[in-house]
Structures are given as structure tokens and as C-alpha cells.
Amino acid sequence: MKKYNFNAGPSILPDVVLEAAAKAIIDFDGTGLSLLSISHRTPEFEAVLAEADSLFRELLNIPDNYKIYFMGGGASTQFFHIPANFLAKKAGYVNTGVWTKKAIKEAKFYGEVEVVASSDDKNFSYIPKNFDIPKDLDYLYICANNTIFGTEYKCDIDSPVPLFADMSSNILSRPIDVSKYALIYGGAQKNLAPAGVSFMIIRDDMLGKVVRPLPTMMNVNTYVENNSMFNTPPVFPIYVLRETLKWLKAEGGVAEIHRRNEEKAAKLYAEIDRNSLFRGTVAKEDRSSMNICFVMSEGNEELASEFMSFAKERGMVGIKGHRLVGGFRASCYNACPMEAVEALVACMQEFEKMHA
């Protein structure tokens, strides 16, 4: 039976990327050595790192006055890494769910945190809008896509202070204006690579704003000045990240993948809205294209476990909603094919007919 991978992360990667990674584990770039046991100081791996940087820049139109670096760990490491470097007096955070709440908790170790807007009042079912941004903030922090609750910023906001964004789960899924951000970061295990590496895109002027003495491995300048290789970087995830960027370029770039993502999301949301047994959980204008959340409709809640089993029998993998929300979640990241969405829609329609 064919499996359809809707896991929220680690998530689906393109088949061609998996094939390249599998070959490299046996023989990396004709070296006769496994990718898992090469030295990161070899010219072959340095070429991988350079190409990853170049492709990132090309695909996101990153201006020349930005640096890109890679480091071990995931986005949760950045929750403290960022305020340690940049929170001098006060930072602003927009609270849109679990991940911003975790980031706020870590930031409070380093200075004052002002929650300038929040959607907590409606269980994080929308993205706050039209809020005032204090001019005295060291930075404003947002999470661009919320995997647990299924909301997403659909455009790049304007900020009078440096704008920092966690784009772990929607990087390269839509075109963005990088120039509106002072810092973009994310874990790789949604749209880029296996867990184990995170990326940061940082504007040059921020590198002169490290506000306190820090241990070497906590200072952003360590990674920038040493081209991500002060210590041994996560070689295998960076290789897979490079292969994913190559795949994305070959598929037509971010504009084309965005078109596909919007098409997939529109198809699944249309079925959620049409099907009498299901309903969406967030404001329609803020619905995530990456993480599509839904529950049984009112009066049909008792069918949830039955549908879960029904869907699993038909090859749907990873559609159980997060434990904090319940219901269902279909994560439709860049490598998720339309075929998978069509299979889930057909599954929902078949289940509805059974209970008509």
C-alpha cells in the first residue's frame, strides 16, 4: 500500500534528494569515502557549503549585505542564541503559539520582553494585525508559520525596528522580501534537511550589535567569521540541504513551489469547508499553507478515532493533530506531492459517504 507522508517534522523530502544522500553515504563525490566519515575540511565538502550558500541566495534573492551560516542544533537553540546576542534592554515578541511562547521564556533570561501582540485570547487561531510596534525595541520577533495551530503570515510585515523571524516551517515555500528582515532563521527538518542543522540569514549591520561577552559557541560572529566551520558542522544535514536547494531550483524555484503549495492548500481547505464531517480551526485569511489543521464538525466529534483509523488504513501517515490541539493536521511541505493531498481528500469524501 502506498504511503502518504503528512508528518509535521521531520518531514517529507524529495525522492531525488534521498537517492543522492543514500549514494553519498556509500561514496561521497567519487572520493571513495562515505559522506558520514569525511573530513569537513576537504575541498569537496567546502564546495557543498559554498553551493548551499549560493543557492540560498539565488532562490530567496538575498541581498549582498546578508550573511548565511549553518550551526548544529535546531530552532530551539536559537530561542536563547538570539537574545543572548541581541537583547540589550528590551525586545518585542508577537505571541502566536507554542514556539513563540518558548522563545519568550528563553529571552527573559537576557532582558525585558514585551509581548506587543498575541492571539492567545482565541487559542492562537489567528495572526495579530494592526498593532503598535514600540520604537525602543532592540528587535521585533515573529514566528512566520505556526505548525501546531496552523496559522501563517501571508506577507512580510513592516517594522520600524529590526525584524527577526523564525521560518523553520515555511522557508522557501513562498517568495519573501528578505530586505524587510534583519535576521531569518530556522531548523531544517521541515523543508530542507534532516534534523541536526539550523540556518541563519543575518544582515551585516546586526553583526556589530552583539551586546554582551559570550562563550565562543554562542556568539554569532564565531559562525560568520569562520564560514560555519569553527568546529565540525553537521555535515550530512548540510549535504541534504544543498541537494534540496538544487531540487527546488530545478523544479522552477520558489515562485513555482509557492504556486504548487497554494494549489495543494486550496484543494484541501476546500474539502474541509465542503465536507459535512469536518471543519477548520483558524481564521481563513491566516490559514497556513504548510500545516493544515482541522477537526470533526460539531456533533460528529465521536467519529475522530474512527476517521484516524480509516485514514491510516488508506496510507495516510502523520495526520494526527498535535496533542495540544487534537484533531488532524496535514503538513503539506514543499516536497509533499499533489497526489498525497488528492488521496487525503478522496479519503475524507469516502468517509463522509459512509456516514451520510
Q: Which residues are catalytic?
A: 99, 166, 190
- Contacts (Cβ under 8 Å, ≥6 apart) of 18: none
Q: How far apart are CA 211 and CA 179, in angstroms?
A: 23
Half-sphere exposure of 355 (CA within 13 A, CB side): 20
Among 108, 74, 109, which Cα is nearest to 92's? Answer: 108
Among 178, 171, 173, which Cα is nearest to 156's? Answer: 178
Identify whether 63 is preceded by a cis peptide bond (ω within 30 of 0): no
- Where b means 16+ CB within 10 Å and e means fewer, 193-230 reads bbbbbbbbbbbeebeeebeeeeeeeebbbbbbeebbeb
CA 242 from chain center: how many Å?
16
Q: How far apart are CA 240 and CA 312, in angstroms?
A: 29
